[in-house]
C-alpha cells in the first residue's frame, strides 16, 4: 500500500513461510517488526493487517522486499537463501515512480547485502538517498533484545 508522498521504504529480504502463507509481511508472531512499528507510530499491534499497512502508509512508510524470488533450504531463515537463486524486485522503478522516497531501511543484513549485490548500481543518483541497515526484527537475531532493536529502529525512523 502506497500512501501520499511516501518518504521511507522499508525493505526485508524475502518473506518467510508464515508470511507467504498468510500473505502478510512479518506474519511470524515472534517477529518484532509490528510491535516496533506500533510503538513508534502509536497504533495497536493487534489491528487488522490492512489497517496496520494503512497506518504506516499514512506515516509515509512503504514496505517491500529486496527479493521477488529465491529458494531456501529447510527453513525460513535468511541464511537458508541460496544466493544463486535470488531474483530482485524492481526497486529502481519504484523509486523512479515515487520520487518523494529518500530513505531506504533494510531489515537486517541479508536485505542490505542482496540490495547492494543486485540493485545499488541500478539506482539513479544513489547519493540522493539515505541507506540504513537496521537490526533484523526476526527472533533469529537473538544477539539483540526487543529494547535494543526498538532503539535502533527509533533512532533512524524518528530522526
All structural domains of the chain, each given as residue ranges with its CATH number in brackets, are 8-157 (3.40.470.10)
**What's the pLDDT score for residue 136?**
97
pLDDT per position as a tens digit, 92-129: 999 999 999 999 999 999 999 999 999 999 999 999 99
What is the model's pTM?
0.94
pLDDT in tens, 122-156: 999 999 999 999 999 999 999 999 999 999 999 99
Question: 73 exposed, middle or buried (CB, 10 Å; 0-12, 13-18, 19+)?
Answer: exposed
CB-based contact 56:65 (threshold 8 Å): no
Backbone angles phi, psi at 127, to 5 degrees: -65, -15
Q: pLDDT value at position 78?
A: 79
Q: Are 31 and 22 in contact (CB under 8 A)?
A: no
Query: Would you mind telling me the total number of residues written for the chain in this entry?
Result: 159
32-85 tens-digit pLDDT: 999 999 999 999 999 999 999 999 999 999 999 999 998 888 877 777 788 889
Residue 107, φ and ψ in degrees, nearest 5: -80, 80
Residue 26: pLDDT above 90? yes
Do 114 and 106 form a contact (C-beta atoms < 8 A)? no
Instruction: Specify the pLDDT at position 144.
Output: 97
Helices (H), the chain: 17-22, 33-41, 49-58, 91-97, 109-118, 146-157
Amino acid at each position: 500500500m502506497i500512501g501520499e508522498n511516501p518518504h521511507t521504504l522499508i525493505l526485508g529480504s524475502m518473506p518467510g513461510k508464515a508470511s507467504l502463507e498468510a500473505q502478510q509481511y512479518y506474519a511470524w508472531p515472534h517477529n518484532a517488526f509490528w510491535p516496533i512499528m506500533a510503538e513508534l507510530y502509536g497504533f495497536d499491534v493487534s489491528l487488522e493487517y490492512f489497517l496496520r499497512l494503512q497506518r504506516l502508509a499514512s506515516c509515509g512508510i512503504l514496505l517491500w522486499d529486496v527479493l521477488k524470488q529465491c529458494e531456501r533450504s529447510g527453513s525460513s531463515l535468511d541464511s537458508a537463501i541460496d544466493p544463486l537463486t535470488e531474483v530482485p524486485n524492481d526497486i529502481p522503478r519504484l523509486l523512479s515512480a515515487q520520487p518523494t522516497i529518500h530513505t531506504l531501511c533494510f531489515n537486517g543484513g541479508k536485505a542490505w547485502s542482496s540490495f547492494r549485490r543486485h540493485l545499488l548500481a541500478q539506482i539513479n543518483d544513489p547519493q540522493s538517498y539515505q541507506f540504513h541497515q537496521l537490526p533484523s526484527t526476526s527472533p533469529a537475531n537473538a544477539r539483540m533484545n526487543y529494547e535494543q532493536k526498538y532503539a535502533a529502529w527509533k533512532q533512524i525512523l524518528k530522526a
